[in-house]
Amino acid sequence: MIDALKNIVGSKNVLYGGLEKSRIAHIWDMDTPLSTKGVILPKTTLEVSKILQLCYENNEEIIVHGGLTNLVGGTQVEPHQWVISLEKMNAIEDLDENAKTITAQSGVILEHIIAAAHEKGLFLPLQFGARGSAQIGGVVSTNSGGMRVFRYGMTRSLVLGLEVVLPTGAIISSLKKILKDNSGYDLKQLFIGSEGTLGVVTKVCLRLFESPTTRYAALVAVQTFDDVIRLLRFMEKQLSGNLTAFELMWRTAYNAAIAAKQQSAPTLSKDFPFYVFIESMGYHLGEDYEKFEYAITTAIEKGLVADGVMAQSAQEVNSLWMIREDTHALTQPYAFSQHFDISLPVGVMDEEITAIVKHLNALPYVHDVFPFGHIADGNIHLIVGKKDSIAAHIKQINDIVYKNLRKHQGSVSAEHGIGLHKKAFLKTSKSDQEIALMKTIKQSLDPKNLLNPGRIF
């Protein structure tokens, strides 16, 4: 295998015999060396194809690595498995200003794509904390979300075309730049969000938008959850298509985030139950600011907002959003933490989150519970700071958080995926018939179960 792999990618691009231990499986665990047969670093789609064909013929399991920011164990590796890392496939191949599309190899870091588009006056609206590390192939494979989903949709909504290598080595290439294509099955949708279990994404064609020329932000305090929802509807009416983000932090999460911040940012008193971060983006300098200021002021006058502050510069806008984006500030004080990423209907969200927090806080091994999230699309995150990582305690916390998801037709994973960690709870979000169909698709494309095995189910 080593000799065959060297023939495909070159000697320097196969790490084994101790060299693989310089690698890691996750960006948050830099101290644990990778335990694997070896790491393969292809530079082209053809090399990926030959690697997968070789592994298929020899019954070798492969785990795909991108930016290593996955939060559900998707990049964990066993000693008998190979790792294929796409970091050297890092070229932006095409940026079509007229079609408003960008085509990139899978190893390109998301932030680099955003910057390249921005240089041409175009805009990729994907916005989440790991954008400086996440690679676009992984972003597509996990159908990443973020803070502008309710305005622009998940990653799925931005993908026009894909190039994918199947577990057998077959290359499926459809890098179309068109938005409308009803010519049979939309095959790219099989691979978006499939967590690398059906094929390795090697190239992506993304839809872009005209770059907004204005960006404004405000932080407001709200007294009740009902007022949070009323405020969302009010801001949607006032700002129309300019409302691009509406993020919520419960008091505990906000206070912990503020306590960890050292840079200057507009802040409010720590005594309110809810804190909402609002973003408006548009194309008319004076008019957009007046519209945003009027909306915030009117919301205060109507009693929807108890207090508020507007960012007065681009630096303040960025500092304000760092309060919400930097979830590391919520985990740093604790040796152990559990992360949750659930979807709930807005009508039951307040009652459910209140009950979950109450039950978690009653556990003697829990320090703190931090709820926050993308309230406009029904996605709530929870970070549970705790004293240990005992398996029974992990299960008890999981059972509390996931208890009523099936009853409310929610989701165990709004945007992070299932990976290895959430397999036991897939049935809270999918019926037996749905899971059976998913397994049929996996069996059809990967009959030997060699590509990212054990993920999802």
Whether 281 and 172 map to the same domain: the answer is: no
Q: Is 122 helix (H, G, I), strand (E, B) or coil?
A: strand
From 325, 342, 364, give the residue that closes a domain: 325
CA distance 40 to 64: 10
Segment 180-186 mean pLDDT: 94
CB 378 within 8 A of CB 345: yes
Residue 251 domain-assigned?
Answer: yes
**pLDDT tens digits for range 264-280:** 667 899 999 999 999 99
Structure tokens at 238: 């006032």
Q: How confident is the model at residue 261 (pLDDT cuts 50, 70, 90)?
A: confident
Is the CA virtual torsion 164, 172, 93, 152 positive or negative? negative
| DSSP for 399-454, written as a single string | HHHHTTTTTTT-BSBSSS--TTTTGGGGGGTS-HHHHHHHHHHHHHH-TT--BSTT
Give residues with Cβ within 8 angstroms of 7, minimum separation 6: none
Task: Confirm if 289 and 216 have CB atoms less than 8 A apart.
Answer: yes
Per-residue pLDDT averaged across 369-376, rounded?
Answer: 94
Structural domain harbouring 401: 328-416
Q: Do the domain assignments include residue 450?
A: no
Residue 391 lies in a domain: yes
AA letter at 164: V
Calculate mean pLDDT across residues 269-292.
95
Q: Which residue has the higher pLDDT, 31 or 9?
A: 9
Integer Cα distance of 183 and 189 in angstroms: 14
Report the pLDDT value the prediction gives residue 153, as an integer from 0 to 100: 94
pLDDT at 240 over 90: no
Q: Which of 88, 111, 134 is the last residue of a domain?
A: 88
Of residues 328 and 221, more confidently modeled: 221
In a domain, 428, yes or no: no
Shared-domain flag, residues 71 and 156: no
**Lowest mean per-residue pLDDT among 24-33, 112-121, 419-428, 440-449:** 24-33
369 within 8 A of 384, measured Cβ to Cβ? yes
Which pLDDT tens digit goes with each residue over 55-90?
999 999 999 999 999 989 999 999 999 999 999 999
Domain count, the chain: 4
Query: For the segment 208-231, what is each residue's pLDDT rounded down to a tens digit?
Result: 999 999 999 999 999 999 999 999
User: Could you give phi then psi for residue 290, rounded to 5 degrees?
Assistant: -60, -40
Residue 262 reports pLDDT greater than 70: no
Among 17-31, 164-178, 414-428, name the one with the lowest average pLDDT: 17-31
Structure tokens at 134: 């996440």
Regarding whether 157 and 138 lie in a shared domain, the answer is yes
The verdict on residue 442 lying in a domain is no
Burial of 413 (0-12, 13-18, 19+ CB in 10 A): buried
Cross-strand pairs, 207: 101
User: 3-class SS at 233?
Assistant: helix
